[in-house]
Amino acid sequence: YYDLAAPFPFGGMVNLSIIDLGGAWVVAEDSSGIMQPGDEVVSIAGKPMGDWLNELGRLTGITDWRSMIGRFPYYFSHLYKGEEVEVLIVDEQGSTRTI
């Protein structure tokens, strides 16, 4: 995720990566320690990842799904203007929580 307000030395990059595993968006890495690898991201700011990617495609004209996924971290801060964002996750034990 590219956070425009993140302090140096990160240069705006927050080390959080999620991957698409058969339609489920799963945390691969989170340097903050808030989420664990294997946690499923159900929604970001109340919208599933597919909705965010569709919005990105409409705004940018990107049609390739993989290109949208690759560019999403850089565009999210343009799509969502709030200072805080709620992320709904389901951990590997099936517990749901909002962070």
Structural domain spans, the chain? 16-98
Task: Please count the CA atoms within 13 angstroms of the CA of 12 that sit on its side-chain side.
Answer: 8
C-alpha span between 36 and 92 (Å, rounded):
9
CATH number of this structure's domain 16-98 = 2.30.42.10
Amino acid symbol at 64: D
Percent of the chain with pLDDT over 90: 39
Give the three-state DSSP class for 57: helix
pTM: 0.78
- Chain-wide mean pLDDT for the chain? 84
pLDDT digits (tens, 9 = 90+) for 46-79: 999 999 999 999 999 999 988 888 888 788 878 8
Burial of 18 (0-12, 13-18, 19+ CB in 10 A): buried
- Identify the pLDDT of residue 97: 94
